[in-house]
Amino acid sequence: MVQSTEDSLNTIAEEIRDLYASDPGNAERLLEDYLERKLEGFSLEDRISHVGRVSACFRTRKPEGIPSGDRDDNQSAHLLAILLGEKISGLDPTTPETSRKLAASLNRVFDNLNDLVTVIRTTLLGKDPCFQTIRHIISADLKGEQESKSLEAHLRQIKGAFLITREAFRTAARTEVARILDELDPEKIAGGSEKGLKFGFMRRADLFEIYKEKYDDVRKWFASERFLEDFIREFEKVCQRLVSEKGGLYENA
């Protein structure tokens, strides 16, 4: 892993020069493989930072026979291609504007992921939204702080939340529909009638009126905000129960 010291950066620069000198024809592949190993586990923002510092080493010392401008541009282009997973034609990786845009994009990704995890924790789990942000986890990982959970585990909360909510939605829907069917159960309505023993059409008329009252009550409940409130309350309750039963979101991812 790359260390934040000038000696380490110079060592990396020397190793890159040696790789290039050993096989110029395959230098691109060799350098990409080398840097992929060195920068493994780093965030895109930190990779860009290290790329810039390593590139500075090449500007201070140039191997003979290699035009400095072309060499710096090619090295930066190779490094940026590793970060993005592809080469982008027409993009100058050495300009501050490129670094600024990449950093801004990363910030948006981090901020939105943190917001999503916050919503999951407060809405589905009913927990305090305070938690380790992605930036904190990456920073702790780079510092070798083993007590910090991994970035992979942090992001598994999102997948786990979707799996939990799908199951919770199905359970909550069945619960509320069963409640409606129970209210409209003819046997229950007939058994609950307190109008005495009647025969023939008189009993049927009474039961119809009772049924109609029940139906009207259910329809009003469904048309009002109470239905959604009851459904959401049941949904959140099931979510929290499932998370507790399954031992958290991480185990569901």
Q: Are residues 81 and 107 in the same domain?
A: no
pLDDT of residue 7: 57
Q: Helices in the chain by DSSP H: which ranges?
A: 6-22, 27-38, 44-60, 68-84, 96-119, 134-142, 151-183, 186-191, 200-223, 225-246
Query: Average pLDDT of 151-163?
Result: 78
Q: Are residues 76 and 34 in the same domain?
A: yes
Q: Are residues 246 and 156 in the same domain?
A: yes
Burial 26-60 (b: 16+ CB within 10 A, else e): ebeebbeebbeebbeebbbbbbbbbbebbbebbee
Q: Answer yes or no: is 1 within a domain.
A: no
Evaluate whether 63 touches 5 at the Cβ level (below 8 Å).
Answer: no
pLDDT tens-place string over residues 212-230: 888 888 888 888 888 888 8
Q: Answer yes or no: is 209 within a domain.
A: yes
Q: Are residues 75 and 160 in the same domain?
A: no
Provide long-range contacts, Cβ within 8 A and 24+ apart, for 46-52.
Answer: 46/138, 46/142, 47/79, 47/82, 47/83, 48/80, 48/83, 48/99, 48/102, 48/103, 50/2, 51/76, 51/79, 51/80, 51/83, 51/93, 52/99
Evaluate whether 216 touches 250 at the Cβ level (below 8 Å).
Answer: no
Q: Answer yes or no: is 217 within a domain.
A: yes
CA–CA separation, 113 vs 146, rounded Å? 22
For the ranges 9-13, 24-28, 81-85, 147-151, the lowest mean pLDDT is seen at 147-151
Q: Find the length of the chain.
A: 253
Q: Answer yes or no: is 45 within a domain.
A: yes
Residue 202: pLDDT above 50? no
Q: Are residues 54 and 121 in the same domain?
A: no
Q: Are residues 202 and 109 in the same domain?
A: no
Q: Are residues 170 and 220 in the same domain?
A: yes
On whether the pTM is more than 0.75, the answer is no
Q: Are residues 184 and 203 in the same domain?
A: yes
Domain boundary among 94, 109, 132: 94
Instruction: Count structural domains, the chain.
Output: 3
Q: Are residues 83 and 15 in the same domain?
A: yes
Domain boundary among 142, 175, 207: 142
Q: Are residues 65 and 111 in the same domain?
A: no
Q: Are residues 174 and 130 in the same domain?
A: no
Q: Answer yes or no: is 62 within a domain.
A: yes
Q: Are residues 136 and 183 in the same domain?
A: no
Which two three-digit tokens encode residue 17? 């020069």
Confidence of residue 146 (pLDDT cuts 50, 70, 90): low
Cα 136 off chain centre by: 15
Stronger pLDDT, 223 or 77, i.e. the higher one: 223
Q: Answer yes or no: is 36 within a domain.
A: yes
**Which domain covers residue 215, as residue numbers?**
151-252
Residue 84: pLDDT above 50? yes
